[in-house]
């Protein structure tokens, strides 16, 4: 009888052991499944700056009355498949949850276009210039969903990779108030480093570590000669007559009006030529991404003090897609220092350039300095259709010997262009951070 009881106990213990093992196995499987579910999800804290913390905000006079009261807890990224992601802005308290579904992040990622690969110098300055320039992509009503009452009529959400380093990103919202769309929310967050590196490697087919130093910190590449033949083939070239409008002012509207406070020198000028000196100073852009007049940004704008020649070229981009694209070369001279500066703007499709009056110049086509760059502000749809992988666009400064110059040190951000009713092309030069214009010329380019 005793033996039978022992056997029963042993059998019971064996069953219990199997049960425990099975339970542990199920727990382990569940834990792994939970881990797998959490993989591909990043919940990132966001930071806001109120009016007292950011008194030099260029949107200060135009922002929504509730701007400082709108607070969000985090920016959530959830990976779907094929490098597509859901974005969720998670609010504090009773705010609205914003969702943008199944989008590609690749056009935010600094890119080495296929035709630049094999040229180490061009590859480096391409990714550096893309990282050094703002890439802000907008989502309008219908591109995002709102979970909540939307009491404040949110109409637009932008996600930006700013120009400071690889991980400093922003999210900005606009809402309707009294019939006007106004800046409603602005938050800063750190993009996940592991995800950034993975996206960079998937985009470019090279190790992120190869370029990490120049993307994570503002490290200046050496000034070396650019191999222009890697970028385009010249079909024809002509020197054209031009009008120099630098003795005139520029329209103080839109971004130029909002950022006038960030022009530290010259003050109260009435002509563009006054900016074309090394004395010109602007408020710098400081981490995590705000304008700081206490740290003035020096310039070398005397390099652009005198325009000597305008060359207009018909070019065939590399890889060849269209032989009717435009390249403009501006040749500047500083007679006091005997310095030549060449400004190339290439891969331009005149069909994309709007016809505007000078007073509407702020609505012109614009882009940043670099190779394959996206424009500063664009819709998600536009970004997808104008991929930096295949873009023929480039804008670069060189010295008289063809060596690349850092446009930020000189004090320019890129070109802005429009046509007038007579068919002349107006080329404006945007200053550092687009605070002002530092050049305006017109000529025939057709």
pLDDT tens per residue across span 132-148: 999 999 999 999 999 98
Average pLDDT value for residue range 400-428: 98
pLDDT recorded at residue 21: 37
Q: How far is the first Cα of the chain from the last one, in angstroms, to the nearest whole number?
A: 109
Q: Which of 64, 72, 105, 68 is nearest to 89 (CA)?
A: 72
**Lowest mean pLDDT across 21-35, 37-51, 117-131, 370-384:** 21-35
Average pLDDT value for residue range 28-32: 36
Question: Average pLDDT of the chain?
Answer: 90
Tell me if 124 sits within 8 A of 227, measured CB to CB: no
Secondary structure, 3-state, 22-85: HHHHHHHHHHHHHHHHHCCEEEEECECCCCCCCCCCCCCCCCCCCHHHCCEEEEEEEECCCCEE
Average pLDDT value for residue range 279-293: 94
pLDDT recorded at residue 17: 41
Average pLDDT value for residue range 251-266: 96
Inform me whether the pLDDT recorded for 130 exceeds 60: yes
**Percent of the chain whose predicted confidence (pLDDT) is above 90:** 83
The dihedral built from the CA positions of residue 427, 114, 130 and 108, taken in this order, carries a sign that is positive
Q: How confident is the model at residue 150 (pLDDT cuts 50, 70, 90)?
A: confident
For residue 303 the two structure tokens come to 């390099």
pLDDT recorded at residue 38: 66
Q: In this predicted model, which residue has the larger pLDDT, 332 or 94?
A: 332
Inform me whether the pLDDT recorded for 49 exceeds 70: yes
pLDDT recorded at residue 9: 32
Inform me whether the pLDDT recorded for 11 exceeds 70: no
Specify the residue for token string 């550092």. Answer: 432
> H/E element holding 198?
helix 193-204
What is the rounded CA–CA span in Å between residue 354 and residue 363?
8
pTM: 0.89
Q: How confident is the model at residue 322 (pLDDT cuts 50, 70, 90)?
A: low
Domain ranges for the chain: 41-216, 228-443
């Amino acid at each position: 009888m005793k033996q039978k009881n022992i056997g029963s106990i042993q059998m019971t213990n064996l069953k219990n052991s199997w049960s425990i093992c099975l339970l542990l196995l199920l727990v382990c499987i569940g834990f792994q499944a939970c881990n797998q579910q959490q993989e591909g999800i990043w919940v990132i804290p966001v930071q806001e700056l109120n009016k007292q913390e950011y008194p030099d905000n260029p949107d200060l006079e135009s922002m929504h009355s509730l701007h400082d009261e709108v607070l969000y807890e985090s920016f959530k990224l959830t990976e779907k498949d094929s490098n597509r992601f859901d974005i969720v802005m998670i609010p504090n308290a009773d705010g609205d949850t914003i969702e943008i579904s199944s989008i590609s992040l690749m056009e935010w990622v600094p890119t080495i276009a296929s035709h630049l690969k094999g040229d180490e110098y061009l590859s480096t300055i391409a990714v550096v210039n893309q990282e050094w320039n703002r890439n802000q992509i907008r989502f309008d009503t219908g591109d995002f969903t709102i979970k909540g009452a939307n009491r404040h009529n949110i109409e637009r959400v932008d996600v930006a990779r700013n120009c400071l380093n690889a991980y400093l990103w922003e999210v900005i919202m606009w809402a309707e108030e009294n019939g006007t769309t106004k800046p409603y929310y602005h938050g800063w967050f750190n993009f996940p480093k592991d995800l950034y590196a993975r996206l960079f490697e998937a985009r470019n087919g090279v190790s992120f570590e190869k370029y990490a130093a120049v993307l994570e910190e503002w490290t200046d590449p050496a000034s070396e000669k650019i191999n222009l033949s890697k970028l385009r083939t010249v079909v024809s070239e002509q020197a054209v007559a031009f009008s120099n409008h630098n003795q005139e002012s520029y329209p103080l509207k839109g971004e130029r009006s909002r950022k006038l406070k960030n022009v530290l020198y010259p003050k109260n000028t009435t002509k563009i030529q006054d900016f074309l000196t090394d004395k010109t100073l602007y408020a710098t852009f400081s981490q995590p991404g705000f304008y700081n007049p206490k740290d003035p940004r020096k310039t070398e704008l005397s390099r652009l003090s005198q325009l000597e020649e305008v060359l207009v070229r018909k070019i065939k981009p590399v890889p060849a897609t269209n032989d009717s694209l435009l390249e403009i070369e501006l040749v500047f001279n500083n007679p006091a220092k005997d310095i030549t500066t060449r400004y190339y703007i290439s891969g331009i499709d005149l069909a994309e350039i709007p016809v505007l009056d000078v007073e509407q110049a702020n609505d012109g086509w614009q882009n940043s300095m670099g190779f394959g760059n996206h424009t500063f502000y664009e819709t998600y749809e536009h970004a997808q259709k104008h991929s930096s992988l295949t873009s023929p666009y480039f804008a670069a400064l060189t010295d008289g010997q063809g060596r690349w110059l850092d446009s930020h040190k000189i004090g320019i951000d890129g070109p802005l262009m429009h046509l007038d009713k007579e068919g002349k092309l107006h080329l404006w030069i945007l200053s550092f951070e687009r605070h002002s214009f530092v050049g305006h010329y017109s000529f025939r380019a057709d």
